Amino acid sequence: MQSPAPLPAPPARISVIVWNEFRHERTRPEVAAIYPDGIHATIAAALAELPGLGPGARALDICTATLDEPEQGLSEERLAGCDVLVWWGHRAHAEIEDAVVDRLQRHVLAGMGLIVLHSGHFSRLFRRLMGTHCSLQWRVAGERERLWVVEPAHPIAAGLDDCIELAQEEMYGERFDIPAPDSTVFISWFEGGEVFRSGCCWQRGHGRIFYFRPGHETFPTYHHPQIRRVLTNAVQWAAPNSARRPDRCPKVEPRERLHTPKD
Q: Which of residues 227-246 bind a second copy (CB under 8 A)?
A: 228-229, 240-242
Residue 128 in the binding site for a second copy (CB under 8 A): yes
Stretch that binds a second copy, among 40-48, 76-84, 93-101, 192-200 (CB under 8 A): 192-200
Residue 36 in the binding site for a second copy (CB under 8 A): no
Tell me how many residues contact a second copy (CB under 8 A).
Answer: 105
Residue 94 in the binding site for a second copy (CB under 8 A): no
What gap in Å lies between CA 229 and CA 237, rounded to an integer?
12
Q: Which of 30, 77, 247, 263 binds a second copy (CB under 8 A)?
A: 263
Residue 148 in the binding site for a second copy (CB under 8 A): yes
Residue 87 in the binding site for a second copy (CB under 8 A): no
Q: Which of 28, 37, 80, 152 binds a second copy (CB under 8 A)?
A: 152
Beta carbons within 10 angstroms of residue 253's beta carbon: 4
Residue 171 in the binding site for a second copy (CB under 8 A): yes
Q: Is-contact 242 14, C-beta < 8 A? A: no
Q: Is-contact 129 205, C-beta < 8 A? A: no
Stretch that binds a second copy, among 10-18, 31-39, 64-72, 84-92 (CB under 8 A): 10-18
For the bound state, the minimum distance from the C-beta of residue 115 to a second copy, rounded and expressed in Å, comes to 16
Rounded alpha-carbon distances, angstroms, from residue 181 to 88, 107, 255 = 20, 20, 33
Residue 204 in the binding site for a second copy (CB under 8 A): yes
Q: Which of 27, 29, 54, 70 binds a second copy (CB under 8 A)?
A: 54
Residue 97 in the binding site for a second copy (CB under 8 A): no
Handedness of CA 138, 209, 40, 149 (dihedral sign): positive
Q: What single DSSP character describes residue 22?
A: -
The helix-helix angle for 39-49 and 225-238 (nearest 10°) equals 80
Residues whose CB is less than 8 angstroms from the CB of residue 195 and which lie 6 or more positions away in sequence, other chains included: 173, 174, 187, 188, 189
Residue 168 in the binding site for a second copy (CB under 8 A): no
36/203 with CB nearer a second copy: 203
Strands 59-66, 84-88: pairing is unpaired
Stretch that binds a second copy, among 34-42, 71-79, 91-99, 216-224 (CB under 8 A): 216-224
Q: Is-contact 191 101, C-beta < 8 A? A: no
**99-118 binders of a second copy (CB under 8 A):** 105, 109, 111
Q: Which of 141, 132, 127, 71 is nearest to 103 (CA)?
A: 71
